[in-house]
Amino acid sequence: MSKTFYIETFGCQMNAHDSEKVIGTLEQHGYARVDDEADAGLILYNTCSIRDKAEQKVFHRLNEYKRLQGEGKKFAVLGCVAQQEGTRIFEKAPYVSLVSGSASYRNLPEMLSRLENGEQRITGLDDRQTDAAFETEFVARTNPHRGYITIIEGCDKFCAYCVVPYTRGKERSRTAKSVLDEARRMADAGFTEIQLLGQNVNSYKDPSGRMSFAELLAAIGQLTGIRRVRFTTSHPRDFTRDIVEAIDAVPALCDHVHLPVQSGSTAVLKAMNREYTRDWYLERISWIKAAKRSISLTSDIIVGFPGETEEDLEQTATLLEEVGYDAIFAFKYSPRPNTPAIGMADSLSDEVKAARLQVLLDRQREIQRTNYERHVGEEMELMVEGYNRQRGQVIGRSTQNKTVNFTTTQAILPATGSYVRVRVTQSFPNSLVGEACV
């Protein structure tokens, strides 16, 4: 096996950051990354099991890789589907040599050595009760300006629809000291934006008892060189008022909170085992709206959960209007392995789910149209992310996590990762257009 590798990543930001850990570890052990699987001695597939039919998609992709197995290549399945399916992957795809869940990435060097020595079936699967740390020694960061730090792994919430507790294990947090040390190293390396990650990032509990989540946020935001701090994803049950107070007090903390509600119906929330009510959620929203700064709100919605009625759907629609989200990520419910919702009655057809989803998306689009129009004429600071040369525009992102495409009269375009003040001249439901301030 040549010491070259190709990695394909699916899923959330945590999966993307997990791949950075895997890449860093591989490169540290003499592997070179290639852009084409045909050129790789080791092909890795980092998987996600949140979406519908995730397992089928994994095996379909593996079947596409099968054509390469006669060329001396090795195959590895990583991430949530690996943890969920375990050794069944070897049965369905016998040409796979390595199956590892995210909690075992710290053991990659040892697993790589076994792979290089010709071992055919290697597993790195952790029991969900593990207390093992999830940090790895090496991280290959793909963006030189914005970087991720995972501060908490796993989930103890056991929502009825969610597979995460079974694939990522129980909640376990890093010490505040280790997080701050990593953040300082990133600041020293020139990073200006840090995003804290966790399945429930605000459920963070410092094992040393030194800092609360809000205090950790504030401490990172006060590091020299750090201009923006984001965090995702928050769970409403653990969202506390001091988080809003920290955002108000520390300018580097971004004006954006992603707070998944999943449903606007208390009855559906109870069936989902979310452990809060509509009114309880709206109280947290009232804290955010009472902040001194204008904080953008986004959320996740599940449509068509078993037993959801038209009245329940309407309650979700009215919640969208009451909160006034700047964006939502809305999905049709799909049953996931091992979750309690699989056995629930009153399942809805896919056609009903699709129709209900469209109702919510149509309402949300009008809310966003109104929200984004309010920015016209406003000046805001953007971090430059790229360029649309066909349109002659620079692409930037605001502290509220909104995309702004802008033009500049300067002969030299601003560098990626730099910060530019822009005046908004036009709005769309999902983006803004502006001009760089002279």
Task: Give a yes or no: residue 117 inside a domain.
Answer: yes
- Residue 133: per-residue pLDDT: 62
- Residue 130: per-residue pLDDT: 66
Mean pLDDT score of the chain? 93
User: What's the token pair of residue 240?
Assistant: 């506390």
- Residue 41: per-residue pLDDT: 93
C-beta of residue 62 within 8 angstroms of C-beta of residue 45 = yes
Per the structure, the count of domains in the chain is 4
Looking at the structure, tell me whether residues 337 and 415 fall in a common domain. no
Looking at the structure, tell me whether residues 326 and 237 fall in a common domain. no
Res. 234 pLDDT band, cuts 50 70 90: very high
Looking at the structure, tell me whether residues 355 and 289 fall in a common domain. yes
The span from the CA of 283 to the CA of 322, in Å, is 12
305-363 pLDDT tens trace:
999 999 999 999 999 999 999 999 999 999 888 899 988 877 899 999 999 999 999 99
pLDDT greater than 70 at residue 52: no
Looking at the structure, tell me whether residues 266 and 369 fall in a common domain. yes
Looking at the structure, tell me whether residues 9 and 111 fall in a common domain. yes
302-316 pLDDT tens trace:
999 999 999 999 999
Task: Give a yes or no: residue 111 inside a domain.
Answer: yes
Task: Give a yes or no: residue 130 inside a domain.
Answer: no
Looking at the structure, tell me whether residues 159 and 248 fall in a common domain. yes
Res. 39 pLDDT band, cuts 50 70 90: very high
pLDDT greater than 90 at residue 48: no
83-118 pLDDT tens trace:
888 999 999 999 999 999 888 888 888 999 999 999
Q: Of 373, 396, 415, which marks where a domain is finished?
A: 373
Looking at the structure, tell me whether residues 107 and 148 fall in a common domain. no
* Own/partner long-range contacts of 287-295 (Cβ < 8 Å, ≥24 apart): 287/241, 287/244, 288/244, 288/257, 288/259, 290/244, 291/244, 291/247, 291/248, 292/248, 293/247, 293/248, 293/255, 294/255, 294/400, 295/244, 295/247, 295/255, 295/256, 295/257, 295/400
**Can you give the C-alpha Rg of the chain in angstroms?**
23
- Residue 65: per-residue pLDDT: 78
Task: Give a yes or no: residue 132 inside a domain.
Answer: no
- Residue 336: per-residue pLDDT: 87
The span from the CA of 267 to the CA of 271, in Å, is 6
- φ/ψ of residue 74, rounded to 5: -110, 150
Task: Give a yes or no: residue 23 inside a domain.
Answer: yes
Domain CATH for 431: 2.40.50.140
Looking at the structure, tell me whether residues 262 and 359 fall in a common domain. yes
Range of the domain at 389: 379-436
Task: Give a yes or no: residue 69 inside a domain.
Answer: yes
Domain CATH for 99: 3.40.50.12160
Q: Of 212, 227, 254, which marks where a domain is finished?
A: 254
Looking at the structure, tell me whether residues 298 and 353 fall in a common domain. yes
The span from the CA of 109 to the CA of 277, in Å, is 46
Q: Of 238, 254, 270, which marks where a domain is finished?
A: 254
Task: Give a yes or no: residue 186 inside a domain.
Answer: yes
Looking at the structure, tell me whether residues 418 and 366 fall in a common domain. no
Domain CATH for 176: 3.30.750.210
Domain CATH for 279: 3.30.750.200
